[in-house]
């Protein structure tokens, strides 16, 4: 593992007042060292640990400290055309880093996340992201490229994930459904990311595993993002971490909500909910459904071990194009993950070993996928077409009075529109908000992406 050594003062130099910083020390990328002791979030509990003399270790290379003017250039002054979305942390904009911006930083698209000072999260959550993602590196964790901390501004710069979140891909209306192969790939990759966190030398409990925090690259490789609520796991003889109950309704484990006791099995429960979302195409909580179906885990879990009932709750947008064997195994695994007894839930390493073979099952029916536009849109188009042809018929009728009555009737029949064939869409454009600036009120909260203090 790549290792770096630095101090709080050098790591967050731009967060201190100018008279506290030595002007002779320019901002620089953290350098590599040969010894490593990962910084724990518990080191932040005592304000005295932020002293200038405290030396701490930080894993990971090329963590850049950006200036606010640099990020304005990268995002075109946080233009509305670059707006990607917004969650509990704040708005996210797409940007592009030029290879001339600074040495050692390659040209690449990035996502810049700005802390909303009036939002549900604050400096501590911002700091948690830097601490965890600045040290942890894994193919299924989103890569943190750098950060900015100037005066009240707190920003994070990540690698850009072109397909956005699993939430958008799975629940967005009027778009092509995620195929079974992509769903299994996402489940396996996300499970590997969680297993890596749980099995690290200093275990990490993610605490906010949900569809909106799983980002997808161009080939649907999933990466976990948003570590603002992550916690260091129990150490030594401790069995759990006691903490204020935070998370998102529908994903948080029931024992954590009741007691505030956090363990790695709390993440396993949340994974089971996301796995259930992948199988059914339903949200973890959906108030628009009948009362008993609003909480997905409570409604679906009793049916997961019954193959006949399972077929009825599978996502209808798959149109039967999925592996029945794989679906049964995934459903059985979800049943275990959602157990109300934490000790009966599998570890994430067992989850990975169970899901991995599902990607190789070949009993998936082959057939075309057709997406039909809702009839309301077709009726509106047909009405316009009928009106146009009726106008044409009237003109022909006025210019051809010498023809027989029977001919006029034939012309009227020709003027009637024929039913249009269903339109096939491969993708639809996302609507975007308008406005500029760091504190512009242009942004709206994305559905399901905000955290709740449960």
CATH of the domain at 203: 1.10.510.10
**In-domain check, residue 412:** no
**pTM of the entire predicted model:** 0.73
Domain end residue (candidates: 360, 375, 401)? 360
Residue 149 and residue 213 share a domain = no
Residue 185 and residue 58 share a domain = no
The distance of Cα 106 from the centroid of its chain, to the nearest Å, equals 25
| Res. 135 pLDDT band, cuts 50 70 90 | confident
175 and 428 in contact (C-beta within 8 Å)?
yes
For residue range 365-381, list pLDDT tens digits in order.
766 555 545 545 545 55
For residue range 225-262, list pLDDT tens digits in order.
999 898 988 876 777 777 888 889 899 999 999 999 99
Q: Tell me how far apart the alpha carbons of residues 125 and 108 are, in angstroms, rounded to a whole number.
A: 26
Task: Note the pLDDT of residue 422.
Answer: 42
Q: Which residues form the domain of 26?
A: 3-159
Residue 119 and residue 7 share a domain = yes
Residue 92 and residue 180 share a domain = no
Residue 321 and residue 178 share a domain = yes
Residue 111 and residue 258 share a domain = no
The distance of Cα 190 from the centroid of its chain, to the nearest Å, equals 11
28 and 61 in contact (C-beta within 8 Å)?
no
Residue of 235, 211, 236 lying closest to 225 (CA atoms): 211
Task: Note the pLDDT of residue 86.
Answer: 87
Beta strands in 208-290 (DSSP E): 214-216, 222-224, 231-232, 241-242, 261-262
Question: What total of structural domains would you count in the chain?
Answer: 2
Average pLDDT, the chain: 77
Asked whether the predicted pLDDT for residue 223 surpasses 80, the reply is: yes
Residue 202 and residue 147 share a domain = no
Domain end residue (candidates: 125, 159, 193)? 159
Tokens of 400: 């051809």
Asked whether the predicted pLDDT for residue 158 surpasses 80, the reply is: yes
CATH value at residue 89: 3.30.200.20
Residue 228 and residue 356 share a domain = yes
CB atoms within 10 A of CB 122: 14
Catalytic, 208? Answer yes
Asked whether the predicted pLDDT for residue 126 surpasses 70, the reply is: yes
| Res. 103 pLDDT band, cuts 50 70 90 | confident
405 and 45 in contact (C-beta within 8 Å)?
no
HSE-up (13 A, CA, CB side) for residue 101: 21
Of the listed 116, 208, 226, 232, which one is catalytic?
208
| Res. 2 pLDDT band, cuts 50 70 90 | very low
Beta strands in 8-122 (DSSP E): 55-59, 64-65, 83-86, 91-97, 108-114
Q: Tell me how far apart the alpha carbons of residues 190 and 214 are, in angstroms, rounded to a whole number.
A: 7
**In-domain check, residue 78:** yes
């Amino acid at each position: 593992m790549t290792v770096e050594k630095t101090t709080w003062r050098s790591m967050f130099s731009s967060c201190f007042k100018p008279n506290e910083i030595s002007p002779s020390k320019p901002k620089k990328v953290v350098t590599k060292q040969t010894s490593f002791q990962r910084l724990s979030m518990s080191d932040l509990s005592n304000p005295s640990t932020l002293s200038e003399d405290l030396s701490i270790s930080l894993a990971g290379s090329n963590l850049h400290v950006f200036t606010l003017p640099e990020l304005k250039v990268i995002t075109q002054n946080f233009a509305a055309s670059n707006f990607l979305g917004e969650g509990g942390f704040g708005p996210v904009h797409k940007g592009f880093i030029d290879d001339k911006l600074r040495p050692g930083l390659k040209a690449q698209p990035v996502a810049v996340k700005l802390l909303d000072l009036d939002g549900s999260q604050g400096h501590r959550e911002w700091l948690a992201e830097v601490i965890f993602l600045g040290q942890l590196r894994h193919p299924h964790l989103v890569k943190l490229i750098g950060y900015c901390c100037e005066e009240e501004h707190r920003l994070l710069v990540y690698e850009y994930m072109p397909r956005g979140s699993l939430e958008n891909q799975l629940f967005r209306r009027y778009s092509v459904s995620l195929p079974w192969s992509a769903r299994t790939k996402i489940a396996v990759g996300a499970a590997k990311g969680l297993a890596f966190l749980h099995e690290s030398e200093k275990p990490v409990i993610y605490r906010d595993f949900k569809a909106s925090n799983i980002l997808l690259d161009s080939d649907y490789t999933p990466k976990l993002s948003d570590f603002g609520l992550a916690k260091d796991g129990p150490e030594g003889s401790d069995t759990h971490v006691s903490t204020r109950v935070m998370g998102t309704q529908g994903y948080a484990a029931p024992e954590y909500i009741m007691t505030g006791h956090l363990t790695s099995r709390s993440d396993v429960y949340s994974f089971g909910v996301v796995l259930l979302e992948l199988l059914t195409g339903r949200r973890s909580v959906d108030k628009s459904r009948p009362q008993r179906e609003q909480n997905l885990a409570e409604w679906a879990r009793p049916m997961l071990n019954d193959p006949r009932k399972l077929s009825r709750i599978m996502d209808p947008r798959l149109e039967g194009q999925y592996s029945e064997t794989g679906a049964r195994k995934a459903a059985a695994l979800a049943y275990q993950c959602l157990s109300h007894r934490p000790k009966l839930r599998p570890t994430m390493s067992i989850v990975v070993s169970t899901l991995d073979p599902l990607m190789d099952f070949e009993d998936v029916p082959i057939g075309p996928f057709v997406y039909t536009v809702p009839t309301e849109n077709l009726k509106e188009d047909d009405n316009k077409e009928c009106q146009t042809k009726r106008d044409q018929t009237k003109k022909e009728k006025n210019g051809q009075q010498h023809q027989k009555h029977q001919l006029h009737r034939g012309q009227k029949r020709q003027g009637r529109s024929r039913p249009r064939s269903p339109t096939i869409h491969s993708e639809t454009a996302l609507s975007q908000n308008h406005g500029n600036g760091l504190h512009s009120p242009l942004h709206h909260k994305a559905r399901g992406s905000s955290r709740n203090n449960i």
